[in-house]
Copies of this chain bind each other. A is one copy, B any other.
């Protein structure tokens, strides 16, 4: 738990994926290195992708492409719901999701529940591009286990965002049915939950397991896709689940996107619709657990 790791200057940082693939990034400077009760944290200045955060050697955030992930996990559900005032973010201690959520003036309170204080500490110091949002007066940071938090809280939220790492280590319970039953309990009427739903190309079993779990708990389950440079697998997904009768395309508040005045880098109404178009193999495999989408061209 120290900042002086910059004395060591490895020239590359490497992420292994299942011992069959690795990504190596050339490192100009190690900014932060620490070991928490949960994981090892590295924040480095890379030569090609800006600053990057690694948890236990797995890339979490890079300055070059974090806008894609954070815009897609936030703006899609916010513009489907249309009237979100209170948001709970589980995980995501880097602050990027909170930053995008708070671009919506209607959001009055956004609570971030992060299990690992060292992630928040490191990002506040070295990833201001995402973590600066945590200083917003509407943001509240709670260091706690997200599973325990939703099991115990009396608060209610219009939108819950599960901004988790992969289903190994501290994030594993965030993929289970008990957690999602508790999430359901803390949602307001019409509330929604969006979750980091893994890759259909390299982690399809984990994705299918999550979607089955959501289908056992919620009336409607949808999946939408985005792309990431710094996650192995290229094509990644978010899930959107709710008990409300809201279709992410039929009920998409497109005019609200323009009215919001938000300057998006990745998101726009065409990307919103496109994200729900799934590759044939993914659509077929998930079909038993997904709610059909109503598209304009099919209406």
**Distance from A285 Cβ to chain B, minimum over Cβ atoms (Å):** 11
Question: Shortest distance in angstroms between A178's beta carbon and chain B's nearest beta carbon?
Answer: 32
**Shortest Cβ distance from A256 into chain B, in angstroms?**
16
Smallest CB separation, A69 vs chain B (Å): 11
* B265 pairs with A279, CB closer than 8 A: yes
The smallest beta-carbon distance between A19 and chain B, in angstroms, is 7
Query: How far in angstroms is the closest Cβ of chain B from A97?
Result: 18
Kindly identify, within residues 37 to 96 of chain A, every residue whose CB is under 8 Å from any CB belonging to chain B.
46-49, 64-65, 68
Whole-angstrom CA separation of A286 from B175 in the bound complex: 40
Minimum CB–CB distance for A207 against chain B, Å:
15
Residues of B within 8 A of A25 (CB): 20-21
**Interface residues on chain A, size class:** 35 or more
> Which of A135-143, A161-169, A186-194, A269-277 lies on the face that meets chain B?
A269-277
Instruction: Tell me, in angstroms, the Cα distance from A270 to B280 when the chains sit together.
Output: 9
Q: Is the CB of A47 within 8 A of B19?
A: yes
- Please tell me which one of the listed residues B12, B266, B274 contacts residue A280 in the complex, with CB atoms under 8 A apart: B266
B20 near A49: Cβ-Cβ < 8 Å: yes
Report A41 CB to chain B, min CB distance, Å.
21
Residue A23 contacts which of B19, B23, B46, B267 (CB distance < 8 angstroms)? B23
- Interface 9-residue window, one of A1-9, A100-108, A116-124, A228-236: A228-236
Cross-chain contact of A202 among B20, B229, B264, B270 (Cβ < 8 A):
B229
Which A142-164 residues sit within 8 Å CB-CB of chain B? none
Residue of chain B at shortest CB distance from A46: B20
Selected from B23, B46, B281, the residue in CB contact (under 8 A) with A266 is B281
Within the complex, what minimum Cβ distance (angstroms) separates A232 from chain B?
Answer: 7
Further pairs besides A20-B49, A68-B279: 5, Cβ < 8 Å? A267-B280, A270-B276, A270-B277, A274-B274, A296-B296
Partner-B contacts on A (CB < 8 A): 12, 17-26, 46-49, 64-65, 68, 201-202, 225, 227-229, 231-235, 264-268, 270-271, 273-281, 283, 295-297
User: What are 19 A-to-B residue pairs whose CB atoms are below 8 Å?
Assistant: A12-B22, A18-B48, A19-B47, A21-B26, A22-B23, A64-B201, A201-B227, A225-B227, A229-B233, A231-B234, A265-B280, A266-B280, A266-B281, A267-B279, A267-B280, A270-B277, A273-B274, A273-B277, A273-B297
